[in-house]
Amino acid sequence: MKNIVLSGVVAALLVFSGCSSKGPAVDTKAANNNPVEEVASTATQEVQPVETETVSSENSLVNSSTSESTMNSIESKLPTVYFAFDKYNITPAMQEKIDASAELGKKVGSNYKVKLEGNCDEWGSDEYNFALGLRRANAVKKALVADGIDASRISMVSYGKSNPVCTAHTKECWAKNRRVNFKLLP
Amino acid sequence: MKILFLLFLLFNIAYAGDATIEVIKKVDSLPTLAIEDSSISYDNTFKLRFFKSLVADLNVISLFNVDRHHRVVAYNDSSVLVSNKDMEYVLRYKIFEDDNGAMNIQMKLLQGDSEVFSKNYRVSKKDIYMFVSHAIAYDINEYMGAKPVSWMKKKVIFAKVIAPKKSEIIIADYTLTYQHIIIQGGFNLFPKWANQSQTAFYYTSLDNDKPTLKYVDIKTASVKSIISSDGMMICSDVSNDGNHLLLTMAKDGQPDIYLYDVKKHTYKRETTYSGIDVGGQFMNKDIIAFVSSRLGYPTIFTKNLLTNEINQVVYYGNSNVACSASGHYIVYKARESSNAFSQNTFNLHLVSTQTDLIRRLTATGVNEFPKFSKDGDAIIFVKNYKGQSSIGIIRLNFNKNYLFPIKSGRIQSMDW
């Protein structure tokens, strides 16, 4: 028995159209490279357009340089909240920083929303680490709400260990990565 | 009484000795196989690369003691090389390029000087030679009458973080030798195959206001959003029929496991513990395994979706943060040391929910991302040891591990 095996190689470079630069490009080229045990003429997949995702247009008022620089100025005054290994409780030292942030949020930053980004060190599996990062963000959110910030102004995201500020394999570096960052949103 | 005790002791020693001898005999009893190269196209570097790939694949099927010597012979020689006369099997192959630039491979399996099996292969370009190597091993395994190694033909999908908040999603063969970036740009993690034929996959996009689960049809390259959640959104597992997903979502900042119905677009919360519940894995359609910190440290539990009964299934390990399930078996990752800042060792262990079986599957390094093949025959994982990352394949029935070094980058998550 002599079967000839033909690759199912298809060539179609498909990219998003109309997306911002952050939008992902999907490339299915050679995605089905398993040899197929049938004699057949070389298959060429038709290039098909990719469904374009609607990217919400940004608010032009918010994008004005004055507003942006104000937002950046306030954001630069917001602290980074650090945590102990495998923990998501707020230490007294960190509580003081959060209290100061809440005061900023009630005064000069009252027109903005805040996104809390939870992060972890490199230990642990990513899914568990993502949950740990989220619990850290949630702990900061609860502290901000207790300080009088409206919960509807706060959103959260966890990046697990995928957004490190330090990549050395040292105790000091791991401590820097176990953190919650504040990002202001219009 | 003393005599009886002595006899009992002798019996035990004898029995233990036999068991050891039996293991050695089993290794020796594998038939020997040599590989003869008759290739006429391409340079020697490529020829050797293909040969090594074939040796590795034939080792992984665990049916032969594979000879690693690269020997050259004419394809139509009527007898095997003199140096291979003592081999029980000889696999001879010829690679040649045709007029269309495609790579052709003729292969035959010889027993003594007799041809017992042959097959021809063709791929459009030599860069994807590894798929031919996998196919040859698959076919030889089938010819030998062993349990199919379908997982060898399955593709691996994984995410790699290339910079903070930047990642790529990549499709690869099971050794990660072939790699194709299918999603580039943005911050996209946790890819999971959406069906057994691997024509679509899910992934988490972190570029939106909320983490969003997306679905990609590979054939049409269409992308659609499935569901979003504040905080986190991960597809942890897909049911065998593709109709249900186990998601980790975080409504109100609380990470819990949800069962999502793909057809009805509805979901049901399956865990309610106030700490961390993540990483749901289907054991069958009614029972899931998951990671929970409800004992004060992360370890593995099961939940019966019909009765809501929850059981702890892993009692060993200081921090058991990831698992994969197949039938009543669970493979999980355990931190072996309790010191958070020492050189940590993470090993994989196998447990059964029906017996008291516990078996350590790895011995050194940081072993992570274990994932059963769909048929439960093999486990794929990533091993990080002494600065080198490798893809590992564990053949449970043969008690063997195989490693394939990864060239660059650390894997964020992986599905098979």
Q: CA dihedral in degrees (B236, B193, B378, B55; nearest 10)?
A: -140
Handedness of CA B53, B201, B348, A86 (dihedral sign): positive
Residue A162 contacts B, CB cutoff 8 Å = yes
Q: Which residues from chain B sit within 8 angstroms of residue A24, using beta carbons?
A: 183-186, 188, 205, 207, 223
Q: List, as one string, the DSSP characters of A33-96.
A: --EESS--PPP-PPP-PPPPPPPPPPPTTTTSHHHHHHHHHHHHHS--EE--TT--PPPHHHHH
Backbone angle region of A81, left / alpha / beta, with phi > 0 → left and psi within -120 to 50 → alpha? beta
What residues have CB less than 8 Å from B257, skipping those under 6 apart? B236, B246, B247, B248, B269, B270, B271, B277, B278, B279, B280, B288, B290
Percent of chain B with pLDDT over 90: 65
pLDDT (tens digit per residue) in B264-289: 999 999 999 988 999 999 999 899 99
pLDDT for A43 equals 32
Give the Cα-Cα-Cα angle B223, B224, B226 (nearest 5 degrees): 140
CATH architecture of the region A65-185: 2-Layer Sandwich (3.30)
Residue B147: how many CB atoms within 10 A of its CB? 11
B341-356: average pLDDT: 84
- φ/ψ of B186, rounded to 5, equals 85, -170
Most A CBs within 10 Å: which of B182, B212, B346, B414, as the mutation test of the A interface? B182
B371-398: average pLDDT: 89
Pick the most confident of A107-116, B64-73, B377-386.
Answer: B64-73
**DSSP assignment letter at B398:** G
CATH 3.40.50.300 corresponds to the domain B31-145: no
pLDDT for A31 equals 56
Q: How does the average pLDDT of chain B come out, rounded?
A: 88
- Please report which helix (H) or strand (E) contains residue B35, including its range: strand B32-37
All structural domains of chain B with their residue ranges: 1-26, 31-145, 151-415
Of B122, B155, B183, the CB nearest to A24: B183
Residue A134 to residue B250, Cβ atoms within 8 A: yes
**Distance separating alpha carbons of residues B22 and B239, to the nearest angstrom:** 40
The CATH 3.30.1330.60 portion of chain A extends over 65-185
Q: Is the pTM value of this prediction over 0.90?
A: no
Structure-block tokens of residue B23: 């293991």
Compute the nearest-CA separation of B407 from chain A (Å): 19
**Distance separating alpha carbons of residues B297 and A128, to the nearest angstrom:** 11
pLDDT (tens digit per residue) in B245-268: 999 999 888 999 999 999 999 999
- Cα B259 to the chain's mean position, in Å? 25
Look at residue B329 and tell me whether its pLDDT is greater than 90.
Answer: yes
Percent of chain B with pLDDT over 70: 91
Look at residue B237 and tell me whether its pLDDT is greater than 90.
Answer: yes
Look at residue B22 and tell me whether its pLDDT is greater than 50.
Answer: no
**DSSP assignment letter at B231:** B
Compute the nearest-CA separation of A64 from chain B (Å): 20
Look at residue B304 and tell me whether its pLDDT is greater than 90.
Answer: yes
Look at residue B28 and tell me whether its pLDDT is greater than 60.
Answer: no
Shortest CA distance from B335: residue in chain A? A124
Q: Which parts of chain A have pLDDT scores under 70?
A: 1-23, 28-67, 124-125
Residues 113-142 of A with CB under 8 A from B: 123-132, 134-135, 137-138, 141
pLDDT for A29 equals 62
Shortest CA distance from A41: residue in chain B? B124
**Distance separating alpha carbons of residues B337 and B144, to the nearest angstrom:** 43
ipTM of the complex: 0.79
Q: Which CATH number fits domain B151-415: 3.30.110.40, 2.60.40.420, 2.120.10.30, 3.30.70.370?
A: 2.120.10.30
pLDDT for B3 equals 53
pLDDT for A65 equals 58
- Cα B2 to the chain's mean position, in Å? 52
Strand partners, B257: B248
Side-chain half-sphere exposure of A79, counting CA atoms within 13 A: 16
